């Protein structure tokens, strides 16, 4: 059992985790860069340690500094949040080796799922189908890749086994493009992830991104907590999410949910996790598993009424999950708009001082943010400034709440994507529900959503 948690993150997620710890009676330790010395996650913590200068690789990604701060502070557990070190198996291994608790799955689970080929193979063994593609990394000779691509059928997608965050993927339309695309993707993967292994997947042309949240304890118990639809994406990055995924038969979701929970039991997975699928023509294809708390966890919290971060910490304490699958009920609908500090049109980050900051309110409205009037948005970190989450009884009612909340929200001094969100929630196809992963980019290319 631990009493003190070091939160190895910043921004809204550091505050989210701090709140969960507080409500469980746990002490919290913040770490921060020099740039974040005045940040709210630092102000609200029981103690705080500066771990380096502004660039993340010299602070929030500095494993040794974080482990040192943990030792000095007397913390017995580390919560990595999302991003930064949250899916770094090497870091989780160092935390375990130091006799501390990593609030997340075992480092071995992170390592397996962080290798997309190993993850695909593990899922196939668990009876979950994957996007058609290679069984292992592609050999260096282009001839073998050519043969496989022909068998799968063009267009294909080259993917880095170590890829993440929408990076390390390249579409190949036909055979003449394959060899150069392969060389380029391998080189990019080597530079970005220190691992140039790549594999092939069939490019699905009009899928939806649907994911299943799971929660598992150390005692072989696992449950699934409904579905989320994250099809609204730009450059493979999620922009707006909802729960449940609209228009998908509940029986199919329940069957997929059961298989995901069973896969967790079978592999001894523990903590929170997300199984990501592409869904095309009613069929589910596994693409990857995220072994951490996700940005969009809030929409699941809203429809289930379950505090996922509290449970993540409680199972890390060794507590038994006292939630049975039949106790989990999804009520109503929820949306999350990711509000970013970025320029409309170019999507370039827009750092600077927040001169005006008016948040929306009313029934079913939740804003997770670390920003307030006068905050300075740093150019060194992610551009997410707030998550606007709304809950309501039906999808239509909830969408009306989201439209109003987006209209009420005002941010001055920096550029944001608020207008993009305002346009999305009035887009007739989005309002109808069930758009595919290319919808947003298609609309943007047409000059729509202005």
Nearest CB to ligand ADP, comparing residues 164 and 246: 164
- Beta carbon of residue 237, minimum distance to ligand ADP (angstroms, whole number): 8
Residue 53: which residues within 8 A CB-CB, separation 6 or more?
33, 34, 35, 59
Matching residue, tokens 């804003």: 367
C-alpha distances (whole Å) from 379 to each of 43, 62, 342, 352, 414 are 21, 19, 11, 8, 12
User: What is the rounded CA–CA span in Å between residue 428 and residue 11?
Assistant: 33
Give the start-end residues of each E strand in 18-93: 27-33, 47-52, 77-79
Does residue 43 carry a catalytic annotation? no
Instruction: Using CB under 6 A, list all residues that contact ligand ADP.
Output: 131, 157, 163-167, 201-204, 207, 209, 233, 236, 276, 278, 287-288, 437
- Beta carbon of residue 165, minimum distance to ligand ADP (angstroms, whole number): 5
C-alpha distances (whole Å) from 386 to each of 13, 127, 417 are 10, 38, 11
- Beta carbon of residue 446, minimum distance to ligand ADP (angstroms, whole number): 19
Helix (H, G, I), strand (E, B) or coil at 5: strand
- Beta carbon of residue 317, minimum distance to ligand ADP (angstroms, whole number): 29
Nearest CB to ligand ADP, comparing residues 67 and 240: 240
As a three-state string, the secondary structure of 163-198 is EECCEEEEEECCHHHHHHHHHHHHHHHHHHHCCCCE
Nearest CB to ligand ADP, comparing residues 287 and 411: 287
Nearest CB to ligand ADP, comparing residues 202 and 314: 202
CB 214 within 8 A of CB 256: no
Nearest CB to ligand ADP, comparing residues 115 and 368: 115
CB 6 within 8 A of CB 77: yes
User: What is the rounded CA–CA span in Å between residue 80 and residue 67?
Assistant: 12
CB 371 within 8 A of CB 377: yes
Nearest CB to ligand ADP, comparing residues 171 and 183: 171
The count of other CB atoms within 10 Å of the CB of residue 173 is: 12
Cβ-based burial of 205 (10 A; exposed 0-12, middle 13-18, buried ≥19): exposed
> Which of 27, 292, 314, 338 is labelled catalytic?
292
Nearest CB to ligand ADP, comparing residues 351 and 433: 433
Runs of H (alpha helix) within 82-156? 89-97, 107-114, 116-125, 142-152
- Beta carbon of residue 132, minimum distance to ligand ADP (angstroms, whole number): 9
First to last CA, the chain: 52
- Beta carbon of residue 327, minimum distance to ligand ADP (angstroms, whole number): 30
User: Looking at residue 31, what DSSP letter applies?
Assistant: E
- Beta carbon of residue 49, minimum distance to ligand ADP (angstroms, whole number): 31
Query: Which residues are designated catalytic?
Result: 292
């Amino acid at each position: 059992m631990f009493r003190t948690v070091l939160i190895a993150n910043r921004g809204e997620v550091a505050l989210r985790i701090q709140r969960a710890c507080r409500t469980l009676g746990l002490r919290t330790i913040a770490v921060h860069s020099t740039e974040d010395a005045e940040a709210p996650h630092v102000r609200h913590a029981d103690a705080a340690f500066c771990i380096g200068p502004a660039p993340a690789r010299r602070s929030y990604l500095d494993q040794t500094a974080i482990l040192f701060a943990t030792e000095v502070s007397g913390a017995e557990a580390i919560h990595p949040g999302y991003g930064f070190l949250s899916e770094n198996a090497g870091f989780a291994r160092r935390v375990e080796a130091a006799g501390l608790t990593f609030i997340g799955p075992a480092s071995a689970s992170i390592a397996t799922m962080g290798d997309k080929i190993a993850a695909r193979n593990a899922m196939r063994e668990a009876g979950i189908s994957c996007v058609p593609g290679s069984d292992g990394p592609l050999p260096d000779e282009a001839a073998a890749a050519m043969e496989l691509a022909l068998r799968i059928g063009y267009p294909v997608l080259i993917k880095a086994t170590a890829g993440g965050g929408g990076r390390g993927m390249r579409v190949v339309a036909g055979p003449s493009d394959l060899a150069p695309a392969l060389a380029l993707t391998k080189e990019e993967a080597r530079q970005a992830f220190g691992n140039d292994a790549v594999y092939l997947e069939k490019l699905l042309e009009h899928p939806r991104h649907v994911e299943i949240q799971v929660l598992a304890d150390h005692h072989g118990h696992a449950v699934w907590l409904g579905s989320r639809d994250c099809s609204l994406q730009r450059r493979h990055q999620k922009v707006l999410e909802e729960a449940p995924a609209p228009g998908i038969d509940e029986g199919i979701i329940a069957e997929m949910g059961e298989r995901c929970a069973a896969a967790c039991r079978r592999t001894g997975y523990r903590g929170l996790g997300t199984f990501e699928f592409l869904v095309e023509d009613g069929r589910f294809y596994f693409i990857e598993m995220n072994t951490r708390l996700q940005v969009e966890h809030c929409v699941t919290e809203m429809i289930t009424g379950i505090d996922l971060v509290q449970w993540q910490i409680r199972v890390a304490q060794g507590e038994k999950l006292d939630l049975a699958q039949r106790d989990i009920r999804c009520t109503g609908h929820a949306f999350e708009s990711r509000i970013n500090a970025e320029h409309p049109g170019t999507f370039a980050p827009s750092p600077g001082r927040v001169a005006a900051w008016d948040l929306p309110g009313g029934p079913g409205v939740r804003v997770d943010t670390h920003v307030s009037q006068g905050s300075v948005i740093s150019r060194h970190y992610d551009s997410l400034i707030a998550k606007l989450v709304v809950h309501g009884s039906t999808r239509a009612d909830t969408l009306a709440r989201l439209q109003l909340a987006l209209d009420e929200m005002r941010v001055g001094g920096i550029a944001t994507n608020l207008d993009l969100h305002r346009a999305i929630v009035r887009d007739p196809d989005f309002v109808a529900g069930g758009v595919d992963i290319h919808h947003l980019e298609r609309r943007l290319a047409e000059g729509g959503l202005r």
